[in-house]
Amino acid sequence: MLLTIGMFIAAFAVIWLMLVFLLLIHESGHLIPMQRMGIKPDKLIIGGVKLFSFRKSGIIHEVGLIPLWAYVVSTDYEKASSRQRAIIAAGGPLISALTGALCFAVSSRYPNCQALFAAQGSILLAATNIIPLPPLDGWTIAEHFLKQRGIHIDDRNRKILLGVGIGTICLITLAL
């Protein structure tokens, strides 16, 4: 019985660390272009139910117990142009897709379940984040192209799309 509990805790810890790692890579894809454009990130949050936080390179990093979402907080981000926000939003799915491809290559060359899990998780993270619904990265990209064509989404419709987006995320999560 004690061995079973220990194995469960070890498996949970490995999966938790893998999810935190994949989300950290994804959010780094947002941080890099953000910092290169001179937009100061204030906080990087990975997961909910805060476990701990630390400050690194002037950014507060907060890690939570439930690593199913992550985001970067920046007071300067809202002042950025829609083009800058679209580039920043595209960075996360792009680096997740590249990480997934690299992990698939590692897994095919040196078969192991960790690399395969990382590959599948990275690709899933990239694919779900390009869905053009708020709060996903794809929405920020789509919104930029809509603005370029003179289409503006008002607050009421944005809230409706946010509800659809959150519902979609919930359905995808339940399907997994």
Write out pLDDT tens, residues 78-122.
899 999 999 999 999 999 999 999 999 999 999 998 899 999 999
Q: Radius of gyration (Cα) for the chain, nearest Å?
A: 18
Whole-structure pTM value: 0.86
pLDDT of residue 160: 85
By percentage, how much of the chain surpasses pLDDT 70?
99
Ramachandran angles phi, psi of 107, nearest 5°: -65, -35
**Cα→Cα distances 132→45, 52, 84, Å:** 22, 32, 17
Distance CA 66, CA 49 (A): 6
Q: Are 100 and 126 spatial neighbours (Cβ–Cβ below 8 Å)? A: yes
Q: Residue 65 has what pLDDT?
A: 92
For residue 111, give the DSSP letter. Answer: -
Secondary structure letter of residue 38 according to DSSP: T
pLDDT value of residue 166:
82
Q: Specify the pLDDT at position 174.
A: 79
136 vs 108: CA distance, rounded Å: 30
Q: What is the mean pLDDT of residues 23-32?
A: 96
